[in-house]
Every structure is written in C-alpha cells, then in structure tokens.
Chain A
Amino acid sequence: MKTQIDIVSGFLGSGKTTFINGFLENERLSKDRIVIIQCETGEIVIDDQLTEGKNIYVKSVLKESSFDAKYINEIVKKYLPHKIIIEHNGTKKLDDLLDMLYDRSIRKNCAINKIIHTIDAATFDIFMNNMGEILIEQISNSDMIVVNNAKGLTKNKLGNMEKTLKAINKSAEIVRAFIREEDLITVNRDILYHAGTKKHIKPSDILFSVFFVFILGYLLFSVSRSMDFSSLNIDLSWLQVLNTVFLSILIQAFPFVLFGVIVSSIMQIFISNEMIVQFFPRKKGLGFIVALLAGFLFPVCDCAIVPVAARLVKKGVPLPTAVTFMLAAPIVNPLVIASTLYAFPGQPSVAFYRIYLGLTVAFAVGLTFLFFSEKKPVVINRLEYITCRCGYCGENSIPKGFWGKIDAVFRHAGAEFFDVGRFLIMGAFLSSIVQTLLPKDILSNIGGGYVASLVIMMLSAFVLSVCSTSDAFIARTFANQLPMGAVMGFMILGPMLDIKNLLMLLGNFKKRFVIKLVLSIFGLSFALLLVLTKLFF
C-alpha cells in the first residue's frame, strides 16, 4: 500500500501540533508506522508520551532547502511508514508543497490523503486582513478546516467566519474544536477516519445526474433519428428551433464576452489600481461624466460590460461611478446607436432620446448608490481566490516581463470566461425558451393606459432582450401599437437589464447589491420615463 500523506497547515499558534497530538492520542493502540515531519515548531511540541515505544518518528525540517522530494523519498525508504504527517509552515504556500509532492518519484510510493487547515478563531480576522492571500490559498486547498478556540466568540461572529470559509472553499468540511482535550480527540477521530467517507448530496451531484439524463435522452433521440423510426414521429422541430435560437444567442454573445474578459484581464495584469482610479476622477461630478461617456470608447455589448464593471470595482473605482459606467456603456455604444438609427430610419430623434434617457437613468441609478452607499464589499471575490490561485491574481505577484504578462492575461481571461460564461449560458437558454415559446402577439394585444403599457414594455425588455444591439429592432415591432414612451422603456431597460445579464450580475456581485441595483433601475427608469416622455412625446 502506498504511504498516506496528511498535511496539516495553519498559522503559527493555530493549533497544528495540538491537532497532531490529538490524532496520535487516537492512534495509541495502532501499530502503524507514522512519520511526522515538522516544518515549523511552535510553543507546543509533539507529546513524547504518545510517541514513546511506538513506531512514530518525529522529524523536524527547519531548513527549507533540505526539504524536497529527495528528502521525502529517503524517509519513505528508511521507515516504510504507513502514514506521513507533514506539519506545514503556515507562511508558505501550500501549492509549492503540493507541487513538490506531485513529483513523480514521490507519487510512485505515496498518495496525499487529507489536507487539514487549522484556524485559531480568535485571530482569524486579523490574519485574514493581513495575510489574506496566503491564508486563502491554504484554505482553498484544504479538505477540512478545524476551527480552534471558538469558545470565546459569539455565535454571530462564528457564523460569519464560517460563511467566509465556505465562500473560499465550498467543499471543505468545517469542524469546530474547543480546546478541551476530549472534544479535540473526538473531532480528530472524525476528521481522519469518518469525515472522508461521509457523503453529502451536493448541488453539483444533482447537476451531474441531470446532465447524464440529458445526454442519455440525447443519445436515444439521435439513435432513434438515425434509425429513422417513422413510428416515433414526434414533432421535435420546436426543439431544433430552440436549439438554433439558443446557439445563435451564444454565437453572438461569446465573442463579446471573450472580449470583455480579455479587457478585464488586461486591466488586471497591465494596469495598476492607481491608474484606473485616476482615469475616473476623484471628484464625484467629473467621475460621473467620464463614466457616462467612457462607454463610447468601449464598443461592447451589454454582456461584456459586467465583468469589466466588476473589475473596476475591485480596482478601487467608487461604486456609483462603476455602476453608472456599467449602465451607460451599452447605450452609448456606437453599435447600439447605429442599430437604433437603422431601426427607426428617418427618425434620428429616437436614437437621441434613447441616449439621453438612458444616460439619465444610468446617472440617476449611480446617484442612488452615491447617497445610499454600500458599506460592505459588493463584489464576489470567488473568482479571484478560487478559480485562479495560481499566483497571478494577487497584487504583488504579477509576473514580470511582457510575455509573462500576456500569458497571465490569457490564463486569467480563461478562468474568468468559464466563470461568467455559465451564467451567460443559463441566461441564453432561458431567454431562448421565452423567445420560442411565448407568442409575441401577447404583448401587442394588451391594451391599457400609458402607465400599464410602459410597465409591460419594461418587463418584456427584461424577458425578450437578447443583445443591446438588437433591442431597437425588436422595439420597433411594438412601435405602432404602443405609445413611444413605452417603446422607449423597452429600449432603455433592455441594454441595462435582461435575463442573462441578471445572471451574470449575480455571478459577479453580491446578491444584496444586485437586488438593490435591479430595484433602482426599474424604479428610476419607470419614474424618469413617465415624467420625461410626457414632455417629449
């Protein structure tokens, strides 16, 4: 049998050695040969009583340079241990250790069993703030997180901490341990023996099974089709239509999303926070103006703007400015202006009002976020911490050299693409269902007053809008039955908010923020359109 390697990581004083002692206590009766490699020694030492007279060997490696694959191989050769426990140095990256353990010569004889991270609850916040990067790297690599010293904390605080941990590492099990000996031992027994076998039904498993059912259905379908069962003459043309519409949305959106994530990655790698923040002037008024017009230089569709806006916020641009930019850019986008002009030929005023009203709404929503400012961070950092813990995301670890940077841009863009893309795919799928199954004349048959038609058009913009460049053409089909103001509502809301956009927002921003954003977009654009279109039309 291969030697099992367990890794215990955590900062100095977080309870690594105590944890190992607890484990050894459990192992008292077993005859397994165990080697403990300590890369760090703190106040607590491995209990002699537990190792005495048994096949347990404690090695300590204080010189980093001597701890390499060769060293491990020698230990394996010398002791032929059943288990190696590595007490990892908490200030080093876990990835480096893992890379070393993945060395071919080691993999022949050993397998990594469990990675445990210990946390001292009392100092977690402090470490998180100061050493966040390395802490997150370790947590995200762990299978199990042991929270020590949790007694002194309030339930609320503890809950928050565990939420943070979950956000960093969804799949790891979190175990609270108290410093009372017997608790620790039970916890440890759980950890190393039973926890691994515990099965949870995870959402991903459900997804997997749905997916397989889906594939199975597909196979059956294609088999039956290729065998030409005329008896199975079910009309599947709607499926084909759905498929075509779905793919067409993806085909036109993918390039824009790719463009968006590449721009966002270039911003991440090449442009420092200071430069970005300087581009959007500190002065609130000027910042807004730049935000409103920056979209003109940035001819992308509404699906590309979400990752870019999220990046701006991460880079330190004030939230109101970033929100304004996010909402204004798809409307002042030259392509969108051109499409409006095409859709309403001979009526440049329509395009003008669209821009004017769109900018007003964007500005108003920006102002809401200025006056009711968000105290807590709104951007989900999942992306940074989890999809790319390869060291090219942290501020200090940007690779040197032009090619290194280019490489990093594409890796980063890839990670971000897969992160945003799935929301796009879900959104595209939902809206293609709506597009194919919902008869379009439902809308035109709804009469009602001006207010009702405005609300209906705004809601249908959310459902029907596919891409900001085509909104104008869809809007035109309603132009005769509904007042111009309502059609305007469609064209203004569509680029700002639609199904796939909402899902992408949820992928990048915190839920609370998205709800607030959606409500203020709906509310403000409704109010503004109601008042302003009365003046114009």
Chain B
Amino acid sequence: MEAALKIVILVGFALFFSMLLQTGKVQLYVNPRIVPYVKFGIVAMIAISLVSIRDIFKPKRKVNLAPYLFFLIPLLMAFSLPAKAMDSTSMAFGDVKISQQQGSNADYFTPDDIAENRTEDTVQMSDNSPMTEEDSLSSDSMDSTQADPDQTDSRLTMQGDTIVMGDNNFVQWLQEIYDNMGKYEGEKIEVTGFVFKSKDFKGNEFAPARLMMACCTADLQPVGLLCRYEKAAELKQDTWLKVTGTIRIVDYNGEKTPVIVADNVVSTNKPKNEYVYPY
C-alpha cells in the first residue's frame, strides 16, 4: 500500500511534468532554462518508482501514510486546476511604481566603460579589471548571452530601420536600449505589450510592458519602456497593444531615461507566450 502510493505519486508528478512539456504549458510555470532540469526530474522519478515496484508485493505491517498526503495535495491541484496566465493584477504588484522601477533600470543599465566594451571584446574586460576571478566568470556568462552570435545578436538585429521588441528579444532589447541610450535615440521602435499604468504616471504616460520570469511564476515582474501617448488615459489596464513610435531620451525625475513617443497604438492579440525571459 505504501509502496503503491509512492509510485502513484511519483508517476503522477512525472506524468504532470511531461504533460506540461508536451503541451508547452511548462512555460506558464518556469523559465525554459529550467526545462532540462524538469526532464531530469521526470527520469529520476520514473527510476525511483521502478525500483519501488517490487515493494508493492511485500506486505508491511506498519504503514504511516500521513507524509504522503502532502504529495497528494499538489498533485490534485495540478490536475484539477488549469494553469493561469498571470496578468499584472494577479500578482500582488499592486501599485509598484514603475517609474522607480524604470529608474532602477536606468541606474543599473547606465552605460559605463564595461558595458561599452562588452560588445567589442569580452576578454579585454577581465584584463582591465582588478577582480579577475569573478570577472572571468562574468565574461563567460556574458559571452554566452551577449556575444553568442546565433542567439542574441540575431535577436538584436533591427528589421529595416525599426527595432521590433517581440517575444524572444524583449528583455534583451530593453537592456540594450538602456545600455546604449545615445545610440538608439531617434530610432523607430515597435513594441508589443500590455498596458501597465501606475499612480505615478502622468495622464499621457503608460508602459507597454511584459511580465519577466527569471525562474518561475513566483518571481514574475513587469518590465518595459515608458511610453508617451496623447490618448494614454483611454487605454485600459492589461489590454494588449502594439505600439509604434520613436525612442527619445528624456529627463525623468532627474534620471535620463529612454521613452517611446508613440505615433500609433493598435490593439492586438495576446501573444502565445505572455512571458519574456531575461535568459
């Protein structure tokens, strides 16, 4: 009985995980980067249940099933409730001040020497820096994302004369624009996102934002560029829009911040995967 329950739980979770992978719903829960680990988890659980099979036929006198109940609860929840795609209101963001959030981007995305060197030569960075050990690390990981020609570079190519911030490159473009504000001033930009407003926004401001998932649903947070648009007041929170406009650098609460000056705003469909990933 105990062994049977164990196997039911393990196989149940393995089944749930593989269903998520099959349907692609796994993206509602975790960053795609976790997917290989999830696969490993499936294999491990199947393996454990395989070796437990012969215990079923071995009767045991004392059975304490209570610990297993803990596992049944999430399993039940997994199969009975559908995954919910979050919007900005479902996470208790409440009134996170996006201006400050954007400000924080501005703080940490400000181009300094290192950021400017980054695209040119990653090795150089570690030479100049006093912190060799950590830097070689950082350059490694920077290499893999920033300088990976197959992935990021192709993500950050402009389509014609327009920057298109889509599902795959949203965060990457955001960082790039904050890093090199000067370079992109005056460029055309096209962004798809949902309307995010906060108390601090002026009447003509909103942000076409996306929810960024670093690890799993629990750490979702909205990210995006501030946008100025005359009829911003008419836009409803959480509706999906495609914004086309031009990037301008403005002084926002004492910080230089890139904003989009919108020319055209049209409503659009929710993208298949609502989340964007920093890596």
Contact = CB atoms under 8 A, between A and B. Distances in A.
Contacts of B214: 339, 342-343, 469-470, 472-474
B74 to A, nearest CB: 6
B233 interface: no
A215 B61 CA distance: 27
A326 to B, nearest CB: 21
B133 to A, nearest CB: 9
B67 A418 contact: yes
Interface in A13-33: none
Contacts of B279: 338-339, 342
Contacts of B108: 344-347, 476, 479
Interface stretch (B85-93, B161-169, B187-195, B242-250): B85-93
Nearest to A428: B74
Contacts of A432: 218
A182 interface: no
A438 B212 CA distance: 19
Contacts of A347: 108
A480 B47 contact: no
Interface in B59-115: 59, 61-62, 64-74, 76-78, 80-84, 86, 90-97, 100-101, 103-104, 107-112, 114-115
Which of A207, A419, A438 neighbours the largest number of chain B CB atoms within 10 Å of its CB?
A207
Interface string B3-19: 00010011001000100
Contacts of B86: 241, 244
B70 A431 contact: no
Contacts of B77: 243, 246-247
B134 A440 contact: no
A439 interface: yes
Which of A140, A170, A339 neighbours the largest number of chain B CB atoms within 10 Å of its CB?
A339
B41 to A, nearest CB: 3
Contacts of B29: 244, 247-248, 251-252
A97 to B, nearest CB: 11
A214 B17 CA distance: 23
Nearest to B107: A480
The bracket for how many chain A residues form the interface is: 35 or more
Given A244-B217, A248-B218, A438 B81 contact: no
A422 B112 CA distance: 47
Nearest to A419: B67
A84 interface: no
A208 B91 CA distance: 31
Given A252-B30, A344-B108, A346-B115, A141 B84 contact: no
Contacts of A418: 6, 9, 67-68, 71
A431 B40 CA distance: 25
Nearest to A438: B92
B157 interface: no
Contacts of A248: 28-30, 216-218
A333 to B, nearest CB: 12
A222 to B, nearest CB: 6
Nearest to A435: B218
Contact of B96 (A244, A444, A469): A444
Given A240-B81, A439-B92, A441-B97, A218 B76 contact: yes
B278 A343 contact: yes
Which of A203, A207, A240, A255 neighbours the largest number of chain B CB atoms within 10 Å of its CB?
A255
A160 interface: no
Contacts of A417: 48
Contact of B70 (A98, A203, A426, A472): A426
B91 A246 contact: no
A377 B39 CA distance: 37
Interface residues of B, number: 90
B48 A414 contact: yes
Interface stretch (B136-144, B202-210, B260-268): B136-144
Contacts of A262: 44
A240 B10 CA distance: 23
A258 B45 contact: yes
Given A355-B134, A414-B51, A346 B92 contact: no
Nearest to A250: B74
A115 B61 contact: yes
Interface stretch (A64-72, A122-130, A306-314, A405-413): A405-413
B interface, over-half SS: helix
A60 interface: no
Nearest to A348: B138
A440 to B, nearest CB: 6
Contacts of A351: 134, 137-138
B175 A345 contact: yes
A470 B219 contact: yes
A468 to B, nearest CB: 9
Contacts of A240: 81-82, 84
Given A102-B59, A214-B73, A252-B30, A244 B67 contact: no
A134 interface: no
A405 B26 CA distance: 34
Contacts of A437: 92
Contact of A255 (B40, B48, B90, B278): B40
A222 B76 CA distance: 12
A105 B109 CA distance: 76
A344 B34 CA distance: 21
Given A171-B62, A246-B77, A413 B216 contact: no
Contact of B215 (A246, A250, A440, A470): A470
Contacts of B50: 410
Contact of B84 (A203, A218, A244, A472): A244
Given A247-B78, A337-B138, A337-B141, 10 more contacts: A115-B61, A211-B73, A222-B80, A252-B216, A341-B141, A411-B48, A439-B94, A473-B221, A474-B219, A477-B101
21 contacts: A141-B61, A243-B77, A254-B17, A255-B44, A341-B138, A345-B108, A345-B175, A348-B134, A348-B138, A413-B48, A417-B48, A418-B71, A435-B218, A436-B91, A439-B94, A440-B92, A440-B96, A469-B214, A470-B214, A473-B214, A473-B215
Interface of A: 98-99, 102, 112, 115, 140-141, 143, 170-171, 203-204, 207-208, 211, 214-215, 218, 222, 237-241, 243-252, 254-256, 258-259, 262, 334, 337-339, 341-349, 351-352, 355, 407, 410-411, 413-414, 417-419, 421-422, 425-426, 431-432, 435-441, 444, 466-467, 469-470, 472-474, 476-477, 479-481
Interface of B: 6, 9-10, 13, 17, 20, 26, 28-31, 34, 37-38, 40-41, 44-45, 47-52, 58-59, 61-62, 64-74, 76-78, 80-84, 86, 90-97, 100-101, 103-104, 107-112, 114-115, 118, 129, 131, 134-135, 137-138, 141-142, 145, 175, 179, 212, 214-219, 221, 278-279
Closest 7 CB pairs of A and B: A470-B215, A255-B41, A204-B66, A248-B217, A480-B104, A473-B214, A422-B70
